[in-house]
Structure 1
């Protein structure tokens, strides 16, 4: 079985978030998909299986578990289908645990249509835990499957020191830490994402987190089209646009490795 490793939400190699992409000829047992993902030891491994013309099942595995939604591995999967497997259609559909997702090839990269993640109030217990993690937070809330802390500025996000044990104990998929971007940058907001409970201490670029960051910052900034920058060591840029109950995530990707699983 062939695989490709694609750096997603980056226009250059060794930036953005790497994902392994495998195209299955036949169904593979879940235990094998999990073992292969652990062997890759990337934040996500994507498994595709063709269901029809331009239509694929898509599943995502971290090194330790299957997840319901992943943005960068979906971007990587679409890129690999177009760039490596030679699919000619400009629109692709993916059947996933989060419903049908769409990918479109556009002039400056790829656009994904993902479900908007609702923003809601935290419980009192969650609020106490989040404020313990980040003293002086501007705001805390629940952001879809995740919890979110807004800090004072971009520097505070960059300098945030995560307590992975405490974050793993939160009743959420992971923790988003965010702030408005500095005025001189080309982004509207910045973020970092931590998911130690899913085997990912810090994710380089998290497309699915932007499904919540988009409505959060849209409400604060009064914009429906924005750019987010994730301040991980690798870094990456995600375009977001809100259309109804969908968030359009846009970015670029580049293939860096190819191989075969024996």
Structure 2
């Protein structure tokens, strides 16, 4: 089975978020897909299979679990189809756990249309204070499968030290930590993402989290188009826009390695 490893939400190698993309041409059991994802040990491994209707089946696995939505691995999958496997369609359709997702391209920029995640503001005196000191807190919210905390400034996000057992105790997919972009940075907001329950202590760039961040910051900033940066060690920049109940995530990707899995 052929695979390509891609760095997503970046235009330079060894930055952004890595995903392995596997082209499935026969049957793979769920257990085997999970084993392969653990072998790659990247934040996500994506499995692509062409369906009879021209849509691509797309599934995403962390080293520990299958997930419902993954932005960077979707970007990686589209990048691989266009640049490595000779697909010429300008709009790709993916059948996923989150419904049909559509991805298009304009030059090197890939745009993905994902369902928006509505955030619900939460009391900052509750669960949020098990994660961070009250003096650093500016807001908290429930964000679909995740929890979200807003810190007082971008530097606080950069310097945030996660208490991974406390984050795991939230019993969510993960924790989004965010703040407004620093003045003069050109960024509307920054973030980091932690998902110890999914086997990812810190995810380098998390497209799906921005489906919630878009909703959260639209209410805060009274706008619908953003430039966002995930300020992990590898880092990544995303274009984020709200179109009704859809979030359009845009970014670039670059292939870093390819090969063949020996499954026989």
TM-score of Structure 1 vs Structure 2, range by shorter chain: over 0.9
* Conserved 8 A contact 2:167-2:175: yes
**Is the 2:6–2:253 contact (alpha carbons within 8 Å) kept by the matching residues of 1?**
yes
2:174 matched to which residue of 1? 174
Q: Contact 1:127 / 1:140 at 8 angstroms: preserved in 2?
A: no
Deviation, structure 1 residue 108: 4.3
Instruction: Note the residue ranges of structure 1 that are not aligned, 5 or more in a row.
Output: none
Number of equivalent positions: 260
1:175-254 residue pairs with structure 2 within 5 A?
175-254=175-254
Please identify runs of 4+ aligned residues in structure 1 that moved more than 6 A.
none
Partners of 2:120 and 2:221 in 1: how far apart? Answer: 18
CA distance in structure 2 between the aligned counterparts of 1:53 and 1:227, rounded to whole angstroms: 35
Show the counterpart of 1:4.
4
The answer to whether the 8 A contact 2:171-2:197 is kept is no
Within 2, Cα distance between the matches of 1:53 and 1:13?
A: 34
RMSD: 1.2
Structure 2 partner of 1:69: 69
> How many Å separate the matches in 1 of 2:107 and 2:2?
28
Q: Give 1:129 deviation, angstroms.
A: 2.3
Partner in structure 2 of residue 110 of structure 1: 110
String of CA shifts for 1:19-65, please: whole Å, max 9, x gaps. Answer: 00001001200000000000000000000100146410000000000
Query: Does 2:81 align with 1:57?
Result: no
Offset of residue 186 of structure 1? 2.3
Q: Which runs of 5+ in 2 are unaligned?
A: none
Determine if contact 1:119/1:143 at 8 Å carries over to the other structure.
yes
The TM-score, its normalising length taken from structure 1, stands at 0.97
TM value normalised by structure 2? 0.96
